[in-house]
Structure 1
Amino acid sequence: MNKEKLQVYCLSLLGATNDYQADWQADRYHIGGKMFAMMGTDATGKPVITLKCEPSRAEELREIYEGIIPGYYMNKTHWNSIYFDSNLSDEFVENLIQHSYELIFSKLTKKVQNQIISQ
């Protein structure tokens, strides 16, 4: 996986913003003030991207792909972390980013959704 390509992809999504969380040493990506992706490291310093995921799909992905684990520092039911050194394609991870973005967007108020859409 290419971190820079995935960063560009996250920011290409409508209304996406990012910041750097110094305490976590992580880049965070938001929609409507809510995080949909975070790029940082695990306790051993291995780079990961953490994404929101529908719970049953999250569990299924963890069973199928060795490089996907329960969300590091996040709610393990709703978030997955993916190691950058896993052999997953950028396209596959972009699809997971899109899924995370859509889950977060759908939980925003209609007012905020409309503000984002009309940008």
Structure 2
Amino acid sequence: MKHKWIEDYLMTKNSVTRDFKTEWQWHRFLIMDKMFAAICVDKDGRNIITLKSEPSLGLSLRNQYSCIRPGYYMNKSHWNSVDLNGDVPDEVLKEMINQSYQLVLSSLSKSVQKEMLDRQKM
């Protein structure tokens, strides 16, 4: 995988935990038990990261980069999988990670978001 920085970057986000889903062989990155990223090897042997996105942005990115495809084993309009050996620039990948994190974070209740913010300040 050419993007060795990705796992470190994912873990810098507030309140992120990581687990390994044995039955899927996925390294999952979670906010309060809600997944916002997964790293795995797809059925074709490609190292991929799967991230949530706004549907229109996801479609635009798929049209722009051939190595971005609909989410592997995920909802095809809300999730995208990126071949980590493809040509997506690091900055684009960081923006995709940031958006995925924000989308999942915003789906949490306001009280949970406040609790996370309070923990971050400690």
Paired position in structure 2 for 1:43: 43
Query: What runs of 5+ residues in structure 2 fail to find an aligned partner?
Result: none
What residue number does 2:76 align with? 76
- Structure 2: how far apart are the matches of 1:30 and 1:90? 21
Q: Aligned partners of 1:34, 1:2: CA distance in 2, in Å?
A: 26
Unaligned runs of 5+ in 1: none
The answer to whether the 8 A contact 1:32-1:116 is kept is: no
Q: Report which structure shows greater RCO (CA 8 Å, sep ≥6).
A: 1
After TM superposition, which residue ranges in structure 1, 4 or more long, deviate above 6 angstroms?
A: none
TM-score (norm 2): 0.93
Paired positions, count: 119
Identity over aligned pairs, percent: 39
Counterpart code for 1:52? K
Measure, in 2, the Cα distance between the counterparts of 1:74 and 1:80.
8
Q: Which residue of 2 aligns with 1:55?
A: 55
CA-CA distance at 1:31 after TM superposition:
0.9
Indicate the RMSD between aligned Cα atoms, in angstroms: 1.1
Partners of 1:63 and 1:102 in 2: CA distance = 23
Structure 1 residues 2 and 116, CA, compared in 2 at 3 Å: closer, same or farther?
farther
